[in-house]
Amino acid sequence: MRRHRVPPGGAHALRAAGARRKVTVVSYVGPEFEPAPPRRSALRRPLTVAVAALVPGALAGWLLWQVTGDPVGSGGSGGGTAASAPESSAPAGPASSGEPTATRSRPAPDGTGAGDGEKPGVPAPGSASAPAASGPLKGKVVVVDPGHNPGNFRHTAEINRQVDIGTNRKECDTTGTASDAGYPEADFTLDVARRLRTVLEQQGATVTFTQDGDRPWGPCVDERARIGNAAGADAVVSVHADGSAAGNRGFHVILPGTVHEGAADTRPIVGPSRELGTRIADRFGAVTGSAPSNYVGDGTGLVTRTDLGGLNLSTVPKVFVECGNMRDGEDVALLTSGAWRQKAAQGISEGIVSFLRT
């Protein structure tokens, strides 16, 4: 610490010396300095007195409540308002045992579905979402099937296991495709599916997922079909993105072809599925502004296939929606946009609403 010398003449001389020099005062509050204490309010003492006066009265009221069991001024027994116990949000009864296992739908916190990289909690298995109180889809059941699974690549042995799809045997599931920059189709499908769920629930539908990122891999394509069948779904939509060559652009909707072989019999659902797919293609294009595929479907946006187990084994109306091509730069710019994915979900939802209201 530096000492200041007092000039000859004492304090009077010091004040005179100070008058001749310009003094600069620097205020600094750092880690080694404590800020000046706040100035006491003029109201502090009156407030302290008021609080001290109120405490005995409050204590007396509390003691009276403990003795009588009623709030003060409730008018005696039965006069108060009892607090109701919160109702349980758990579904009544145990979850269904055995296959298929569905996942309960849960809306995302922002009301639009999960955002980029967002996972809105772990859903409870074995039940569907609670439908909205009203809306055009009240009483309708929609199963949403997010294609693939983000964890499939860690479980190659499991997903490569062969399953029966009616016409032949095929691998249980695949990892799906990805953009050249590494954005996985499985992440895309979950995001769009969650957004779609939110919109459908706002329309009054009961929504069931085949998976919500809550299981390490799968489910297999045959189980995905069984989930829709067991739910008695009025419509099932499987969300995907294609992995075609660069330059191939646009969306398309895959419809089940006529299959009657082994465990597969699509004959009852071919007509309704085509109607569902046609309405989704129409609304998807209108809402997103995307054009139908320029490489399959002859410009209609509709493609019929008989080699997909998820369609072959379905007994309820079902389609796949290939929202775009993850290997085309222009399509990827859309698929990686949260705003566009919200439009995709809205377009699919409007197609479902149109189909179920006919």
Known catalytic residues? 322
**What are the two backbone dihedrals, phi and then psi, of residue 158, each rounded to the nearest 5 degrees?**
-70, -45
Helix (H, G, I), strand (E, B) or coil at 205: coil
Interaxial angle between packed helices 270-288 and 338-356, expressed in degrees from 0 to 180 and rounded to the nearest 10: 140
- Residue-by-residue DSSP string for 129-186: PPPPSSSTTTT-EEEEEE-S-TTGGG-HHHHTSEEE-SSSEEES-----B-TT--BHH
Of the candidates 252, 307, 241, the one whose C-alpha atom is nearest the C-alpha of residue 278 is 252
Sign (positive/negative) of CA torsion 239, 278, 358, 348? positive
Q: How many CB atoms lie within 10 A of CB 188?
A: 28
Residue the block writes with tokens 């074995």:
126
User: What whole-number distance in Å separates Cα of residue 184 and Cα of residue 34?
Assistant: 53
Residue 47: strand, helix, or coil: helix
**241 Cα distance to chain centroid:** 19
**Residue 307's Cα: distance from chain center in Å?**
31
